[in-house]
Chain A
């Protein structure tokens, strides 16, 4: 069983839709949670970072962490065609090692 599970999609939505991306994990030691966005043939870029449980908002993006359910989410409001990319969740339990465990990535397409 993988430590981090993420629905690979693809997910196709119309422009302006609210998008929900999710990951589940099995390791209760994870404390640091990230979402990366990866455009085709590019490296991942950090989108959101959250420590422990709670919500974090940045513009149209909201990250949620529910440690009791071992479940994290990324919400995108008013989605735009430029949001079309692969979204990767990542997490770790130790700030010392910096070793991240990644989900498989969800491919999102926002249609104009």
Chain B
């Protein structure tokens, strides 16, 4: 079982607030990912990192930003939350072998009022 954690699990917040979604993994994985998932829709990659000090934007444009100062930690920040940011945010990490399997955290369900 993968050891990847996300906090908070649920967040309801007002428009304009700054929020940070936390993601941590204890497996020493270099590669980490953030996905956005709306109900009934596929997961869309919004950010990824290949290691410390490496961050890239994903296929889906997002107003969020990420940082990777430590291997185990990959937080996502929204400077000014809007109702359009309401979604489920999933963090994942990957073993650095010849396989593309990713392990997911439980997700953060964000609601912006």
Contacts and interface: CB of A to CB of B under 8 A. Distances in A.
Are these two chains actual partners, yes or no? yes
Given A42-B107, A43-B107, A100 B42 contact: no
B31 A98 contact: yes
Contact of A8 (B40, B45, B94): B40
Given A8-B40, A43-B106, A99-B45, A92 B90 contact: no
Interface in B46-95: 48, 58-59, 90, 92, 94
Contacts of A4: 42
B41 interface: yes
Interface string A94-107: 11001110111100
Interface residues of A, number: 26
Contacts, number: 59
A2 B42 CA distance: 10
Question: Which range contains the number of B residues in contact with the other chain?
Answer: 20 to 34
Contact of A100 (B6, B40, B41, B100): B100
Given A42-B106, A98-B33, A88 B99 contact: no
Contacts of A95: 98-100
Interface stretch (A44-52, A61-69, A74-82): A44-52
A78 B86 CA distance: 38
Contact of A98 (B100, B104, B106): B100
B15 interface: no
A60 interface: no
Nearest to A6: B42
Interface string A53-64: 000000000000
A59 B107 CA distance: 28
Contacts of B92: 43
B101 interface: yes
27 contacts: A2-B42, A4-B42, A32-B100, A43-B104, A43-B107, A44-B43, A45-B104, A46-B101, A46-B102, A49-B99, A51-B99, A88-B42, A88-B43, A92-B100, A94-B100, A95-B98, A98-B33, A98-B48, A98-B94, A99-B45, A99-B48, A99-B58, A99-B59, A100-B45, A100-B100, A103-B42, A104-B41
